[in-house]
Amino acid sequence: MRKTSQQIPFHHTTLGNTSLPRIIFLHGFLGSGSDWLPIARELQENYCCVMIDLPGHGEALFHQTVNPDGFFEQTVDALAELVRTIASPPCFLVGYSMGGRIALALLLRHPDLFAKAVIVSASPGLRTEKERIQRRESDEGVARKIEINFEGFIKFWYEQPLFSTLKSHPLFKVIESERKINDPHNLATSLRVLGTGRQPSFWELLKENRVPTSFFAGEKDERYVEIGRQMVKLCTCSVLELFALCGHTLQIENRELFLDRLQFFFNQQEENL
């Protein structure tokens, strides 16, 4: 495990020749960097894939009490420090769900680090403080469920409508089992300090983004389709890529298409965006 100067824990795994263009991968809540291994194995001949465990996930464990105030921004800046150290910027960036929120914040706060970015099933945060307060209250209830009955929480988590298409996928049982490997107390802490309720709104900064960005969303994930449409209206150097018949976890539900669209976007000349 590596800690940055801000004492925020990260862990990373690299796959592929380090002389190749690098892609930074950020996973979703309950996951770890290893979630991206099936994707990285397909890309390793053309890219060096850096898969990061975000705080509270995988091997990036909290070993001290965390002050939630400002922790989201501190994490983003600490991650920028890590990228500068391990990834020879500018590089590519891919983030999914929670990792997509963090990736988008990272892109907007530290645009010099990246050549292009793909943001999957994610948003720039909640627009108002009232919404964020309500979300923090909701997240606290979820965090307690994680601490009290972790296995029961996993079942509850995947009952959410946004995972309905994943539940019918052949890999669902494997994924569900992998989620139980994480430490529940660390996951609860992560939710309390990195959840959507703790993230400032980055909607206004989208207007200033000049890094080519593609927002990926599954067509059945209606909430994130709409968020994607709103984001591309604000961000002039962005596109929205919709994945037919997919929901929130489109990189799992249609891995072949995800790989195809990811590589197409990264290889595309900027003037064609």
pLDDT tens figures, 51-76:
999 999 999 999 888 999 999 999 99
Mean pLDDT on 217-229: 97
Percentage of the chain beyond pLDDT 90 is 93
Q: Is the pLDDT of residue 268 over 80?
A: yes
Q: Which residues neighbour 247 within 8 Å (Cβ) at sequence distance 6 or greater? A: 162, 163, 164, 165, 166, 218, 220, 221, 253
pLDDT tens figures, 30-51:
999 999 999 999 999 999 999 9
2-124+200-272: which CATH architecture?
Answer: 3-Layer(aba) Sandwich (3.40)
Distances (CA, A) of 45 to 16, 154, 161, 259, 266: 7, 35, 36, 13, 15
Please report which confidence band the pLDDT of residue 14 belongs to, taking 50, 70 and 90 as the band edges.
very high
Lowest mean pLDDT among 6-10, 114-118, 221-225: 6-10
Mean pLDDT on 96-112: 98
Please report which confidence band the pLDDT of residue 7 belongs to, taking 50, 70 and 90 as the band edges.
confident
Alpha-carbon span 139 to 198, nearest angstrom: 10
Alpha-carbon span 63 to 3, nearest angstrom: 11
Largest CA distance in the chain: 52
- Give the chain's mean pLDDT: 95
pLDDT of residue 273: 47
Q: Is the pLDDT of residue 5 over 50?
A: no
Instruction: Identify whether 90 is preceded by a cis peptide bond (ω within 30 of 0).
Output: yes
pLDDT tens figures, 112-136:
999 999 999 999 999 999 999 999 9
Mean pLDDT on 196-205: 98
Mean pLDDT on 175-194: 95
Q: Is the pLDDT of residue 6 over 70?
A: no
